[in-house]
Amino acid sequence: MAWLVAGLGNPGERYAQTRHNLGRMAVEELARDARASFKKVRFLPIEIAEVRIGEEPVVLARSTRFMNEAGPSYASLARKRDIDPERFVAVHDELDLQPGVLRIKRGGGSAGHNGLRSLDRALGTSDYLRVRVGIGRPPGRQDPADFVLQPIGKGDRADVELLAGRAADAVRSLLEDGLERTQDRFNGAAPGSPSNDAPPRTN
């Protein structure tokens, strides 16, 4: 049975370089590394690239629907390919982790993330693997929605690209080496950070 790796994000150039698209950037990095192209799936609002990671067949997926309504796209693809939730990986941005921090886990709540909420409803379970990519809370009183959807400044783009690359590496490790070894390897502080604790909620 193949793995399905869903890169959560929004379609279109308007959102391509935003923090909310880090999951999508990671699966695109995996496709580039494998020299694979995304292709539209007939009758589904989704694009896929089929690759191998180690010995594992993998379907990389990005929905052509917006984040908050994309869950049915991924769930329909999983059913079409007979992929169980145990072999489903969601890669997504996370406000409640410091910028650059990764957390890999199975299951959990949505923590207000609309993409995860849509995915949970569509799959009928929250018991799937997640690669959580820390982006931190917005500065001052900025609305979190504005923060995640604003274009990334030129000064931050290199760091964001590196973070997407680390998330892609975490997916590779997860599929090749399993959850526990990947957690040991990646569930630490961000590079250059003295702590791996998430900042407290401010709302």
Q: Which residues are catalytic?
A: 20
Q: What are phi and psi of 190, to 5 degrees?
A: -65, 150
At 176, list the tokens. Answer: 């090749």
If DSSP codes are grouped into helix, strand and coil, which group holds residue 200?
coil
The residue behind tokens 């496709």 is 31
Query: Which of 121, 95, 124, 90 lies closest to 105 in space, CA to CA?
Result: 90
Going by the DSSP 8-state scheme, the letter that residue 139 receives in this structure is S
At 114, list the tokens. Answer: 């609309």
If DSSP codes are grouped into helix, strand and coil, which group holds residue 140?
coil
